[in-house]
Amino acid sequence: MALFRRILSLGKRARLEQEIDAELREHMAMSIDDNMAQGMSREEAERDARRRFGNPTVMRERVWTEDAALGLGSFWDDVRGAMRVFTKSPGFSLVVVATLALGIGANAAIFELLDTVLLQSLPVKNPQELAQVSVVNMDKARGSFLSGYPAVTNLIWERLREDHQGFSGIAAWRDVDFSRDSGGDARFVNGLYVSGEFFRVLGVRPAAGRVFTAEDDRSGCGLPGAVISYGFWQQEFGGRPALGQKLRLNDKSVEVIGITSANFFGVAVGRAFDVAVPICSQPYLETGSLLNSSTKWWLSVIGRLDPGWSVRQAAAHLEATSRGIFASTLRADYPPESVKDYLAMKLTVEPSAAGVSMLRETYSNPLRVLLGIAGLVLLITCANLASLMLARTTARERDMAVRLAMGAGRWRLIRLVLGESLLLSLAGVLAGAALAQALSRSLVAYLSTQDHPISLDFKLDWRLFAFLLGISLLTCLLFGLAAALRASCTPPGAAMKAGGRGMTAGRGRLGFRGALVVSQVALSLVLLFCALLFTESLRNLLIDDPGFQSRGVLIATLNFTHLQIPVDRQGAFQRQLLDRIHAIPGVDAAAATGIVPLSGEGWGNAVWIDGHDSIQRWDSNFSDVSPDYFNTLRIPIVAGRDFNDHDTAQSLRAAVVNEAFARKLGLGVNAIGARFWREATPSSPEELNVIVGLVKDTKYSSIRRPPVPIAYLALSQEKEAGSTMQVLVRSRLPINAEEQAIRWTIHNMSSGISFDFEGLQEQIQQSLLPERLLATLSGFFGALAVVLAMTGLYGVMSYTVTERTNEIGIRMALGAQRSDITAIILGKAATLLAAGLVLGAGLSLVAASAASALLFGLKPRDPATLAGAALLLAVVTVVASLLPSMRAANVNPIDSLRAE
């Protein structure tokens, strides 16, 4: 109650004063009544009462002070006092706030990224009701997997659309690139195929025009219209009226019928959509319909749960009805031997309030590790500031002693110092939050590239605010509490004595500051160790030999769909294109391939040796290549031959295999001439292959995985060549000149061919972005930690020297040599350092094993790295303590004693 009244009284001083006045007035009245009852006249009675009462204003003030003394009223006094400290020592405050801003800014930036990528819900109505449908045992599925997200076939989606018990609405989507050029340099937009109900189910309203309805998404619809995003509207039309305007997508014209609301970016976090068209438009926009195939897995299904249905109930229902769904969606194109697996597949439902995200898969672990690292940096920062605050409090001991002597309570002093810390940390948080905005955006810019742009919608949400508030209170307590407690423990008598300095330093005081330094050194070692591990891991990945030479190789992606070349002449056209590119002066070698190594693409099939039972089959990776592929990538041919012009559609399929494949066959070099079968696929029956060549092992889809068995097939023996091709070009020209030469060559053949270039080496390095992010940022944090540890130790040692000046003077007067004094001070520093290193080594090993999944080519407990980190830290900190120890050695005994 009292506290409640105190809070109320904050703004109600006037009312409180009235109450006090009333109380005192009544007192006077009673006093006068009594006097008159004893026979005094009214005047006499009043005079007597006033005399006894004294000055009423002074009285009221005194009573008011009592009411306010313990109240929040004095809180403002604390704040004002703290402000005064700021204005008195702006340099100190600036250093503290800047240090805090750095530490907090780094944390907030990484948290903001983590929040946006991992935690935030989709910007749609009631996102918590959203759930996605996925296949439980996708590894059993056969066919083409055209989406990076959980996906089903169109046939399965149509069944789900008909019967979606448990969902009030259900929708399907797939992200896709639409080309916007008609030859020349390729330009793409981020497209979406969506089912008719997609926008309605998500609750997305149009900002202009209309969104699709079920009526728009009927098979054979052609291209009924496009709904564009707000961002694309701004970028493409500059915000001018766009309804009814035409867009060209994949060489087809489409009318804009609607614009979505500004905050809706799609359902994939990190990849904002530009243009959405109905699913039924797919056959019209692309060659080859995906609509009636049971082997094309491309549509992601998202639904809004019925009120009263939980995710679990919906999942149970869908699992129970899975059998019927799969049985009714099986088509003749499904490989017969896998039909049993297909029928045994199950569908399930998972919550999807946060949508889906490739970024989430790639960056969730690195971001968590980085947040941990940034947290450690903040801890070290706090330790440094705690030391600083403590030193200041010690300097203000007399001030505190005077306050104590004047009757201030311990709590009052604690509040005074904590108030300062709080104000400092709040200022630090404000500056840090501002810094974080810039930092998180530059982080995204760092991760985003021209070919893989990342669009993130940063929002200031309650999580970030809670994070910032928590962090500010925590830092305030961490760095302010020690100083506050110290201040409140000041013995008034001792501190008031002249000089206030004994012959030797109090052990306890340095003890605490020493502990701070030890923990700083320990944490710095952890950070340095992690930074070295991640850097070394990145280096291992960069210098890792994938088995081929990526330097100097350009990937040219060519698309001649516009030319509408008949299927039977596409192969010849591709060869012609390749020959032209090969003929460019400066080009050493060029080859076409279906799978660019280390690009993340893959093609796997089961194989077995001819003559063996097909039960004894195992999985191999495949690639289809043109002659000269191995020369282009400098993959040595160990035995046999490369593909050549005699490998045609009429001859037996030739295969070049790598050594891992031959080992798996148990044949070694004798593999040449051996025959193996490749299983039937949706597009081809079982096929017999004869091994004509053996090449060295190379890595296949990712540089992080060891080499795997690979069988290369001849592109010239494929039945359908297709109208797109990927050409690897090795040349001596600078990359720009090379691109320009290829542009010219292709343009001279036909202006209807579109092309896109990327360096093979750049693409591989691109795939190492998570590692690069970890190495760069942890390196930065590690360096920061070392600097902080250095200043921490320097501060403590300087303090020790100042405090022990008398002692040093006496020692020198008694005959101690300068080297002895240096040894004393350095010894002290070495003790702290050693304790910190031992503690840090233990912590490092724990921390590193937690991060082991993110390392490549080295063990998390790598002793050499740990030793290196410890050595580096030791050297740096010893250097930091050299200066104070030299100052100690230069103490003039006469001066130091005279000062007493």
Partner 1 sequence: MAKNDLQGALDLLILKTLSQLDSMHGYGILMHIRRVSDELLLVEEGSLYPALHRMEQNSWVRASWAVTDYGRKAKWYALTRAGREQLASREKNWAQVVKGVDAVLRFA
User: Which residues are near partner 1 by CB under 8 A?
Assistant: 1-2, 6, 19-20, 22-24, 26-27, 29-31, 33-34, 52-54, 58-59, 62-63, 65-67, 69-71
Structure tokens at 346: 């199950």
Nearer to partner 1, 75 or 744 (CB): 75
Question: How many residues are given for the chain?
Answer: 900
Q: At what angle do helices 769-803 and 507-543 cross, to 10 degrees?
A: 160
Which uninterrupted H or E stretch holds 170?
A: strand 167-179
Q: How far is the CB of 41 from partner 1 (least distance, A)?
A: 19
Q: How far is the CB of 43 from partner 1 (least distance, A)?
A: 20
Integer Cα distance of 364 and 358 in angstroms: 10
Q: How far is the CB of 9 from partner 1 (least distance, A)?
A: 10
DSSP 171: E
Which own/partner pairs from 408-414 qualify as long-range (CB within 8 Å, at least 24 positions apart)? 410/488, 410/489, 411/488, 413/484, 413/487, 413/488, 413/490, 414/484, 414/485, 414/487, 414/488
Integer Cα distance of 321 and 328 in angstroms: 11
828, HSE (Cβ side, Cα atoms, 13 Å): 27
Q: At what angle do helices 507-543 and 818-850 cross, to 10 degrees?
A: 50
Q: What is the dihedral of CA 198, 203, 207, 208, to 10 degrees?
A: 50
Nearer to partner 1, 6 or 252 (CB): 6
Q: How far is the CB of 5 from partner 1 (least distance, A)?
A: 9
Answer for the pair 121, 269: CB distance below 8 angstroms, yes or no. Answer: no
Q: How far is the CB of 24 from partner 1 (least distance, A)?
A: 7
Integer Cα distance of 81 and 404 in angstroms: 16
Q: How far is the CB of 27 from partner 1 (least distance, A)?
A: 5
Answer for the pair 304, 168: CB distance below 8 angstroms, yes or no. Answer: yes
Nearer to partner 1, 24 or 339 (CB): 24
Burial environment of residue 164 by CB neighbours within 10 A (0 to 12, 13 to 18, 19 or more): buried
Nearer to partner 1, 2 or 814 (CB): 2
Nearer to partner 1, 2 or 615 (CB): 2
For 143, the 3-state DSSP assignment is: coil
Place of tokens 């350009």: 554
Integer Cα distance of 19 and 13 in angstroms: 10
Q: How far is the CB of 75 from partner 1 (least distance, A)?
A: 14
- Pairing assessment for the beta strands 144-145 and 675-678 based on DSSP bridges: unpaired
Nearer to partner 1, 17 or 333 (CB): 17
Q: How far is the CB of 422 from partner 1 (least distance, A)?
A: 24
Place of tokens 């780094």: 106
DSSP 804: T
Nearer to partner 1, 9 or 294 (CB): 9
Q: How far is the CB of 415 from partner 1 (least distance, A)?
A: 16
Nearer to partner 1, 50 or 501 (CB): 50
Collect all residues with Cβ–Cβ distance below 8 Å to 361 and sequence separation of at least 6. none
Nearer to partner 1, 6 or 539 (CB): 6
Integer Cα distance of 229 and 260 in angstroms: 5
Nearer to partner 1, 37 or 332 (CB): 37
Look at residues 353, 474, 359, 390 and name the one whose alpha carbon lies nearest to residue 425: 474
Integer Cα distance of 714 and 723 in angstroms: 17
- Pairing assessment for the beta strands 246-249 and 275-278 based on DSSP bridges: unpaired
Nearer to partner 1, 30 or 864 (CB): 30
**Helix %, strand %, coil % of the chain (to 5):** 55, 15, 30
Q: How far is the CB of 405 from partner 1 (least distance, A)?
A: 15
Nearer to partner 1, 70 or 98 (CB): 70
Q: How far is the CB of 66 from partner 1 (least distance, A)?
A: 4
